[in-house]
Amino acid sequence: MRAVQYRTPGKGPELVTLPDPEPGPGQVLLKVTAAGICHSDLTLMDAEPGTLSFGLPVTLGHEATGVVEALGPGTGPGADGGWPAVGDAVAVYGAWGCGACRACAEGRENYCPYAPAQGIHPPGLGAPGALAEYLLVDHTRHLVALGGLDPVRAAPLTDAGLTPYHAIRASRHKLPPGSTAVVIGVGGLGHLAVQILRALTPARIVALDLTGERLALARNAGAHHTLVADDGARAALDELTGGQGPDAVYDLVASPETTALAAAVTAADGYIALLGIGRGSVPVAFGATRPGVTVTAPYWGTRQDLLDVFALAREGRVTTLTETFTLEQAPLAYERLRDGTVLGRAVVVL
C-alpha cells in the first residue's frame, strides 16, 4: 500500500510503498477514507533526534475515518450486536490506552498512565498512522460509528474537535451568561474551539490570531469579537472586559508570547487551558496571575467527548472547514501548514 512516513530526522515526510497490513487477533483493518493533517506532526518532525518515545520510521496521521475492511481472528461483533462489521463507516478514537486501568475503564484513555510504558502509542504518533491506504486499529473500542457524518469533515473532529471539546467541557462552569472566553490561534483546533464554545456556553467569545483572514474565519465560526494578536491585545482585552479580564483562555498556540498574555489577562478565579505545544508556560504561584486562576495543559479527549463532538456535528453545530489533498500531496499539505497557508484543516482524502 502507499503510505506517508516520517523516516529521517531533518527530512520531511516521504511517500513510500509498504506491505498491506493484516489484522491480528482483536484488531480491525480499516480502508482509510480521510486523514487530518495536524500541527502536532510538525512538532514531532521537528523534535531533536532521540527525544521521541518511539522509533522511526512512523506512518503519520492521527485523525482518521475509514471503512471496516476486515476483522482479525477473534474480533467478535461488538456487544451491541454485530458492530463493527465489514463495510461499516467509522472514525478512530486515537488516544489509545492500556484498556485495563481505571482511566481506560472510564473512557479517559487519553490519561492512561500505563500506555507509554507498555509501548502503546496512538496511530500516527508511534503506531502506524492513517496517512496510508490501510490502518490497523488495535481494538474495536477505538472505533466510533460515523452515523451519517461526512468522513472528510469528521476526521479532524477526532483531534482538532475533540481536544478543544475536552478542555471546554471541563471548564464550562467558568463561563456563565455574561462571561468572556478567549481563543488564541484560529487554525485547525481554533476554528472548531470557537464553534464548540458557542454550542456549549453562553460566553462572549473573543478570538485572536495574526491575520485578517483567520480573524474572518473566527467570526464565521461564531466569534463575537476578534483581535490581532499583537502588543495591543492585552489592552484591548482589558477594555472589552471592563478591566476584569476574560474568564477562560484557550491557548492553541502556547508560545512564550501567548502564554504571557494569558497569564496577564485572565480574570481572578479564571481558567487557562494550554492546548498548543509552543514551549510557553504559565507559572502557578501567588501573584503570577490574578488569584485563583486554574492553569492546565490537557491532552486530547475522552471517548465520551468524541461521541459528544460527533453529536454536535450531526446537529450541524460544529462543522470543519477543510482543504483536501491527495495522499501524494501530503508532504505539500505539511509544507502549507508550516507556511501558515492552510485555512481550517488540511485533510488527505484517500
Closest approach of Cβ 119 to ligand NAD, in Å? 20
Q: Whole-number minimum distance, CB 254 to ligand NAD, in Å?
A: 7
Among 24, 269, 284, 299, binds ligand NAD (CB under 6 A): 299
Report the C-alpha gap between 9 and 46 in whole angstroms.
Answer: 8
8 Å CB contact between 93 and 143: yes
Among the listed ranges 66-74, 118-126, 159-167, 324-332, the one in contact with ligand NAD (CB under 6 A) is: 159-167
Say which residues have a Cβ less than 8 Å from residue 166's Cβ, sequence separation at least 6. 110, 298, 300, 301, 302, 305
- 118 vs 341 by CB, closer to ligand NAD: 341
Q: Among candidates 259, 248, 138, 134, which has minimal Cα distance to 196?
A: 248
* Binding status of residue 275 toward ligand NAD by CB under 6 A: yes
Report how far Cα 32 is from the mean position of its chain's Cα atoms. 18
Extended strands (E) in the chain:
2-6, 14-17, 28-37, 58-59, 63-71, 89-92, 134-137, 143-145, 180-184, 204-209, 225-228, 248-251, 271-274, 294-296, 322-325, 345-349
Q: State which of positions 196-215 bind ligand NAD (CB under 6 A).
A: 208-210, 214
Residue 121 sits in the site that holds ligand NAD (CB under 6 A): no
**Shortest distance in whole angstroms from residue 217 CB to ligand NAD:** 8
Angle among Cα 219, 36, 200 to the nearest 5 degrees reads 40
Which residue's Cβ has the minimum distance to ligand NAD? 187
Q: Which is closer to ligand NAD, CB of 62 or CB of 174?
A: 62
- One-letter amino acid of 170: A
Does the protein bind ligand NAD through residue 337 (CB under 6 A)? yes
- Give residue for cell 474495536: 140
Q: Which stretch binds ligand NAD (CB under 6 A): 121-129, 170-178, 196-204, 249-257?
A: 249-257
CB of 40 to Zn ion, least distance (A): 4
How many residues bind ligand NAD (CB under 6 A)? The answer is 32
Rg (CA), the chain: 20
Q: Rule CB under 5 A: which of 38-67 touch Zn ion?
A: 38, 40
Name the site residues for ligand NAD (rule: CB under 6 A). 38-40, 43, 159-160, 163, 184-190, 208-210, 214, 229, 252-253, 255, 257-258, 275-278, 299-300, 337, 340
